[in-house]
Amino acid sequence: MLNSTPLVASATNPLCTFVRRQVLPAKPHVLWRIHAGLVRTLTWNDEGDIVPVGFWGPGSLLGPEIAQVTPYEIHPLTRVEASPVSAYLPLPNCILLEHVQHTSAIMRILHHHRVEDRLVNLLVWLAKRFGKLDPRGLQMQLPLTHQEIAETIGTTRVTVTRMLKHLEAEGKVTWSRHQQVIHRACLTGRDLRLPRDMVVS
């Protein structure tokens, strides 16, 4: 059921804190509302390979009942604050829209034939969604490992490492453990409509 009422933490839905890679508990008919931090959701295919479902931040409401995917896990990428919400409660209209738009964006990225195109489009999308404006372009604020990126675009960690080095040599990205920037040279010709609340450095 959908409505337009926001779901918030309360005495019956207390805030819980999780650290990176501490999987949020899976409970029957319970969703998780993200209040702070960033997470990725994932499942597995028949061969046991990880299949990322999406990346989410504050305001997102997550659970297998919404995603219609099993198995389904929520993995923090940063320190996360979240509260459990009954899956039987009416859902805000914006939740379904967010999931539809999210799925559409992931599908567009994965339908690029060249792995490098999938990589660049994923990085730009994530930087627009979770990053901030930088004089050089867009600064990522989502701490992903090369392995996590590889799992998302369907390639290997070695390939992602090689491609990031190549993009950095071309001046298209700055990539290190502490700083990830998508340079303007990599953004030319792409849809750069940004969220209204995106932070400007």
pLDDT tens digits for range 8-21: 544 457 899 999 98
Number of domains the chain is built from:
2
Both tokens of residue 36?
């702070």
Kindly state whether residues 66 and 18 are assigned to the same domain: yes
Exposed, middle or buried: residue 89 (CB in 10 Å: 0-12, 13-18, 19+)? middle
CB 85 within 8 A of CB 33: yes
CB 164 within 8 A of CB 173: yes
What does pTM read for this prediction?
Answer: 0.83
Kindly state whether residues 83 and 122 are assigned to the same domain: no
Question: DSSP character for 34?
Answer: E
The radius of gyration of the chain from alpha carbons, rounded to an integer in Å, stands at 17
Kindly state whether residues 10 and 91 are assigned to the same domain: yes
Both tokens of residue 77?
């990428």
Does 40 map to a domain? yes
Of the listed ranges 56-60, 95-99, 123-127, 160-164, the one predicted with least confidence: 95-99
CATH number at residue 67: 2.60.120.10
The Cα–Cα gap between 7 and 144 comes to 28
Predicted confidence band at 6 (pLDDT cuts at 50, 70, 90)?
very low
